[in-house]
Structure 1
Amino acid sequence: MSYYTPRVVHVPAGKGVVKWMSGDVYETMATAESTDGSVGFTVCWVPPGNGPVAHVHKSADESFYLISGSLEFLNGDRLFEANAGDFVFVPRGTRHRFRNNTDEQAHMVSFFTPGGGEGLWLEGGDDPVPGGKPEFWPPERGMALGPLLGRTEIDMEILPEQTDLGGPADEA
């Protein structure tokens, strides 16, 4: 391999692939395919009340960096709050989710290592509608994603959402 062979992935701001996922907006800037499997990188906007259901990624770690806003994270069986400037690392095999419990939109980046998990919204998400607004999905719409979850590159399982979680969690 030559050190002089161009191999850098560069996606200018606003030029990623945008998908709507149950009310959230995800702009994927790098995919497993574009990074030779190394990483999937997505910029996320999470409106008040939104966020995914509890789940686990079996074959990838997932990391988050909050640019603005605040999100409640599930960490196994504990909850904690992450705020602007915070970094969250979720090792594969850990039950997690995030939820915006505030009245302001949260903005963050999310990345999978190795990449592949971003395929869920790239294939199962909705194309944006010019002038439209993403809508929160009814349960049956989310359940329709079932066939994508078991695919090798996504390898995700939906888990129960407990409502009787304890108080403040251990640090993330």
Structure 2
Amino acid sequence: MIRRKEEAEVIDVEKPAGGQGHIYKNMMVNASEMFGKGRMVARIVLPSGSSIGDHAHVEDAELYYILKGEAVVTDNDKTEVLHAGDALFTGNGNRHSITNKTDEDVEFLAVILG
């Protein structure tokens, strides 16, 4: 299967996981296409001032891979700045969040497994 960026469904999500602003979720692969192994592969655009609020992954896991920009992430109680090429993996009941505190969009790949 090949899915081009312009063919992906784009979902505008307001205040994701209790965060601020909104995100644009470009659904590259959805749950029905993952053979029961995952729920989502999406390219996320996080505009300036927006965030995905703190949330846990108990029965699944999520990978954020930063494609563009600079994002502030929490990994449980630890806060770090991630740049293009950096990743955050959260699962096993752990929590995370991501915030764009810059003037430019942040783009990242989000993969939910399990």
In the TM superposition, 1:1-172 aligns within 5 A as: 9-22=1-14, 23-39=22-38, 40-114=40-114
How far is 1:32 from its partner?
Answer: 1.6
For the 8 Å contact 2:56–2:91, the answer to whether it is kept is no
CA RMSD of aligned residues (A): 1.2
Larger Rg belongs to: 1
Please give the alpha-carbon distance, in whole angstroms, between the structure 2 residues aligned to 1:20 and 1:47. Answer: 11
Please give the alpha-carbon distance, in whole angstroms, between the structure 2 residues aligned to 1:91 and 1:81. Answer: 20
Which consecutive unaligned segments of at least 5 residues does structure 1 have?
Answer: 1-8, 115-172
Please give the alpha-carbon distance, in whole angstroms, between the structure 2 residues aligned to 1:50 and 1:13. Answer: 22
Provide TM-score, normalisation by structure 1: 0.59
State the 4+ residue runs in structure 1 displaced beyond 2 angstroms.
Answer: none
Instruction: Give 3-state SS (helix, strand or coil) of 1:66's partner.
Output: strand
How far is 1:106 from its partner?
Answer: 0.4
| Structure with the larger strand share | 2
Provide TM-score, normalisation by structure 2: 0.86
Please give the alpha-carbon distance, in whole angstroms, between the structure 2 residues aligned to 1:81 and 1:94. Answer: 18
For the 8 Å contact 1:62–1:92, the answer to whether it is kept is no
Q: 1:16 to 1:92 in 2, by over 3 A?
A: farther
Please give the alpha-carbon distance, in whole angstroms, between the structure 2 residues aligned to 1:78 and 1:88. Answer: 12
For the 8 Å contact 2:44–2:108, the answer to whether it is kept is yes
